[in-house]
Structure 1
Amino acid sequence: MYLFKDLMDYIRDLVANRKLIQKFSINDFKSRYAGSFLGIMWAFIQPTVTIAVYWFVFDIGLKSAPAGGMPFILFLITGIIVWFFFSECLVNGTNCFREYSYLVKKVTFNIKILPTVKIISSLYTHIFFIAFAVVMLLLYSQPISLHFIQILYYLICLIVFLTGLTWVTASLQPFFTDILQFINVGMQVLFWGTPILWDVNIFPANLLWILKLNPLYYIVQGYRESFFGTGWFWEHPVMTAYFWGFSFVLLLVGIAVYRKLRPHFADVL
């Protein structure tokens, strides 16, 4: 029962500290690129170049067929922006306790909000790329339907999933500094195992359930349905139930790991 209590306490902390989290996240976003010539522009330049490279290789070079009935560039953008947000949050969130070790050692500061600060910090760039995807759809004469409003739902899904995941990884990082290396390797596998660059229709139907075990599958497909106006989230009750069940269990695991290791952070940081 204490795990449920901790989860409710965390939600109350978020509400009580919402102004602090907002200010902290903005400062974190700015400080990430402090000292560089182009500053925060790098937050937008690098993902844009990545999109351009994948588009050139797969669409121009390999002559990829339209995916899901859409031009490849639109299919690519609407999926890869989820990956940009996920990967940035996971890496930065995992390292947050070490990065802000001076706060970890302050008894009065609620460090449980630090992974959330990293998520909100990455959200600013993500919102820009959601708008960028909308502009690209309009340039290709693709209408924005009412389905687009559920982007907010899938964004909440992604944030909840990342919150549980970063609680686990951030709590382990002070004790296992190699965890970031494992994450980087794992993300390479996860990237190609998520339908970002390829259409799920090319995958054997009898094996598709394996891909659906990946929570990012639900979110990437949901983003595309929102942008392209091809479906609502309640039309996938099994996948929706699985995702929220998985995410809820992950939150409880994250809380348990954090609760177990929190008293020892100051000793190893």
Structure 2
Amino acid sequence: MRTCRCWLREKRIVGTLSEILKEQWEWRKQILSLGLFDLKKVSAGAVLGPLWFFAKPAVYIFVFWFALEVGLRSGDQTGSDVPYILWLMGGLIPWFYMQEILGTGIDVFKRYSYLVTKIKFPLPGIPTIYSISTMIIQCGLVVALIAVFFICGQTFDWYLLQIPVAMLLMFVFFDMFSLMTSCLSAISKDFKNLLQTLSTPLFWLSGIIFNVFSLGIPAIEMILMFNPITFIVTMYRCAVYDKMWIWEKPEAIIGFAIVFIVQFIAMVVIYKRTHEEVADVL
């Protein structure tokens, strides 16, 4: 009997996953078009247009660089010949993408409520719309990162190939996260408020502005390995600053893989149980 129940549960999970992937594929052209339209809508009416997407990140990077390297002399403490600005950008640039998902991305059904209530757009595709528009901005920031990389006198190496891999993993992970949390946020506003409250603590506790591997406290370092933000930031820095491969830190890969699998299962189960209620709630 128990074996039969487990088989039925697994069959339902696979069926729900197939439904999610099928809807994403069948509506892929509309999803991409709406993602591009979302960017145009945000920049419409501004003289500088798309440049405003990069103005805020540029100001943030400059302020943190000035405070940490010029003010606190953090760059002198790394003991590396690679410019500190690359270490800092390697942490902040992926954070800009993740910050958007942890902000607007956790409640995209409300942002695109007309797609849910009027057009009957497939729910799994709606978080992807926002993920695509945000990832396009991320691509522009990565181009700026590579430009600074070469301006700082660094030469091309194979470690840079880790950046597109990190971007792909970040997109898939946080797209699933957006779908899962948007379903929950549509049902309960308390859940949305909780996640928005945690956004700032996650920034300061995820190794974005400090080196996780130099804490000297093995227990805390091990816990941080289960933070997907820490993993993505580590991959970026392995590419542009540390000059090493991510698999040289197997604890980071293991931690991310476990969290990825857990979230994948949670996303499918939560979507299965809540997607029919979303339209009614909105």
TM-score, normalised to structure 2, is 0.87
- Does structure 1 residue 84 correspond to structure 2 residue 84? no
Comparing 107-116 and 143-152, the one that deviates more: 107-116
SS in 1 for 2:187: coil
State how far apart, in whole Å, the 2-side matches of 1:222 and 1:68 are.
Answer: 20
Deviation at residue 15 of structure 1 after TM alignment: 2.9
Matches within 5 A, 1:63-102: 63-66=73-76, 67=78, 69=80, 70-102=82-114
The aligned residue for residue 117 of structure 1 is 129
The aligned residue for residue 8 of structure 1 is 18
Deviations along 1:36-81, one digit per CA (max 9) or x if unpaired, are 4544322111111111111111111222234362322111001111
Matches within 5 A, 1:187-266: 187-207=199-219, 208-228=221-241, 230-266=243-279
Pair 210,242 (structure 1): closer, same or farther in 2 beyond 3 Å? closer
Residue correspondences, number: 269
State how far apart, in whole Å, the 2-side matches of 1:224 and 1:68 are.
Answer: 15
- Does structure 1 residue 162 correspond to structure 2 residue 174? yes
Deviation at residue 201 of structure 1 after TM alignment: 4.2
State how far apart, in whole Å, the 2-side matches of 1:172 and 1:201 are.
Answer: 34
Read off the aligned partner of 1:146 and give its amino acid letter.
W
SS in 2 for 1:95: helix
Percent of counterpart pairs with the same letter? 29
State how far apart, in whole Å, the 2-side matches of 1:13 and 1:100 are.
Answer: 17
Contact 1:96–1:115 (CA under 8 A) maintained in structure 2: yes
State how far apart, in whole Å, the 2-side matches of 1:4 and 1:237 are.
Answer: 29
The aligned residue for residue 147 of structure 2 is 135
Pair 22,157 (structure 1): closer, same or farther in 2 beyond 3 Å? same
State how far apart, in whole Å, the 1-side matches of 2:169 and 2:71 are.
Answer: 35
Deviation at residue 198 of structure 1 after TM alignment: 1.5
State how far apart, in whole Å, the 2-side matches of 1:4 and 1:106 are.
Answer: 29
Deviation at residue 238 of structure 1 after TM alignment: 4.2
Deviation at residue 150 of structure 1 after TM alignment: 2.1
Note the aligned Cα RMSD (angstroms).
2.0
Contact 1:165–1:254 (CA under 8 A) maintained in structure 2: yes
The aligned residue for residue 27 of structure 1 is 37
State how far apart, in whole Å, the 1-side matches of 2:25 and 2:243 are.
Answer: 34
State how far apart, in whole Å, the 2-side matches of 1:36 and 1:95 are.
Answer: 26
Read off the aligned partner of 1:50 and give its amino acid letter.
Y
State how far apart, in whole Å, the 2-side matches of 1:150 and 1:11 are.
Answer: 26
The aligned residue for residue 6 of structure 2 is none
Contact 2:87–2:241 (CA under 8 A) maintained in structure 1: no
The aligned residue for residue 186 of structure 1 is 198
Contact 1:25–1:118 (CA under 8 A) maintained in structure 2: yes
Name stretches of at least 5 consecutive residues in structure 2 with no aligned partner: 1-9
SS in 1 for 2:244: coil
Pair 147,179 (structure 1): closer, same or farther in 2 beyond 3 Å? same
The aligned residue for residue 41 of structure 1 is 51
State how far apart, in whole Å, the 2-side matches of 1:257 and 1:90 are.
Answer: 18
Pair 4,249 (structure 1): closer, same or farther in 2 beyond 3 Å? farther
State how far apart, in whole Å, the 2-side matches of 1:216 and 1:26 are.
Answer: 26
State how far apart, in whole Å, the 1-side matches of 2:25 and 2:79 are.
Answer: 40
TM-score, normalised to structure 1, is 0.91
Comparing 241-250 and 123-132, the one that deviates more: 241-250
Comparing 55-64 and 1-10, the one that deviates more: 1-10
Deviations along 1:128-163, one digit per CA (max 9) or x if unpaired, are 111111111111111221111122221121112202
Contact 1:33–1:40 (CA under 8 A) maintained in structure 2: yes
